[in-house]
Amino acid sequence: MHTQHSSAHSCAQGHAHCHSVPPSTPGQVRALSVALITVSCFSVAELWVSAHSHSLALLADAGHMISDVLAIALALWTANQVQQAKSDRLNAVSALVNGSLLLLVSGWLGWEAIAALRSPPTGILSGPVAITAAIGLGVNGLNAYLLHAHAQDNLNLRGAFLHMLADAGSCLGVLIAALLIAQFGWYWTDGGVGLAIALLIAASALPLIRQSWATLKAMPQPKPLSD
Ligand SMILES: [Zn+2]
């Protein structure tokens, strides 16, 4: 497979890493496929555990991971596109939708986190939260390691690599909060980590919206499908 693209506007990542070249070699596509499978399995499990353990921090991380699944799927889909102009437009529209959804999610999570900080809920099951966060640390660490090999030759994958490192950091935060709850009963740490993740999501959504909006504005109007 040799789909070489040199588009200037391929947004593959959920975070602010909007770079030029989509993944094109089989090794790069394989690394992203592993990320897609592991991150989607993990985010569904994480969402389930967050609902049953009443952890806002875990819910915030799950929301972020689900948006990552969409971004990775988009990156893989783009890698297989032949019609570059069409793929650029869809890419920018998807990035705009993803960014707007992320902003809504982060606003809601921030609101919930502030409420949780004002009166910390005491029903958080720190054991399942700690185990899930530790698995998330492993999943993100593995993907960061796999993408690291390609980070030198592809800016897009370098963005993905840095993103996975940041995600591993989020999981570490959730893990530390769960341990502090188990050890000292510091229930407020869950809302604190939830708020930090909500702010991280907003910080990644704003440039995504700005860049995809600018890309769409700079594009020529779509032509009727005649050729
Ligand atoms: Zn992420």
Distance of CA 34 to the CA centre of its chain: 15
By the 8 A CB rule, do 11 and 92 touch?
yes
| pLDDT of the residue at 177 | 95
| pLDDT of the residue at 212 | 86
CA of 14 to the centre of ligand 1 (A): 7
Residue 5 lies in a domain: no
Residue 2 lies in a domain: no
Residue 139 lies in a domain: yes
Identify any residues that bridge with 10 across adjacent strands, giving them in sequence order.
Answer: 19
CA of 189 to the centre of ligand 1 (A): 21
| pLDDT of the residue at 1 | 36
Residue 8 lies in a domain: no
CA of 25 to the centre of ligand 1 (A): 23
Residue 99 lies in a domain: yes
CA of 64 to the centre of ligand 1 (A): 6
Q: Give the CATH number of the domain where residue 206 resides.
A: 1.20.1510.10
| pLDDT of the residue at 23 | 61
How far apart (Å, rounded) are the C-alpha atoms in residues 113 and 188? 9
Residue 64 lies in a domain: yes
Tens of each residue's pLDDT in the chain, 227 residues: 343 333 333 334 444 344 445 566 788 788 889 989 999 999 999 999 999 999 999 999 999 898 888 888 887 887 676 666 777 777 788 788 888 888 998 999 999 999 999 998 888 999 999 999 999 999 999 988 888 877 776 666 777 777 788 889 999 999 999 999 999 999 999 999 999 999 988 988 898 889 889 988 988 766 666 55
Residue 190 lies in a domain: yes
| pLDDT of the residue at 6 | 37
Going by C-alpha positions, the residue among 133, 6, 114, 3 that lies closest to residue 61 is: 133
CA of 28 to the centre of ligand 1 (A): 18
| pLDDT of the residue at 24 | 66
How far apart (Å, rounded) are the C-alpha atoms in residues 81 and 3? 8
CA of 223 to the centre of ligand 1 (A): 35
CA of 110 to the centre of ligand 1 (A): 17
| Total number of domains in the chain | 1
Q: Which residue range(s) make up the domain with 81?
A: 26-217
How far apart (Å, rounded) are the C-alpha atoms in residues 1 and 175? 41
Residue 224 lies in a domain: no
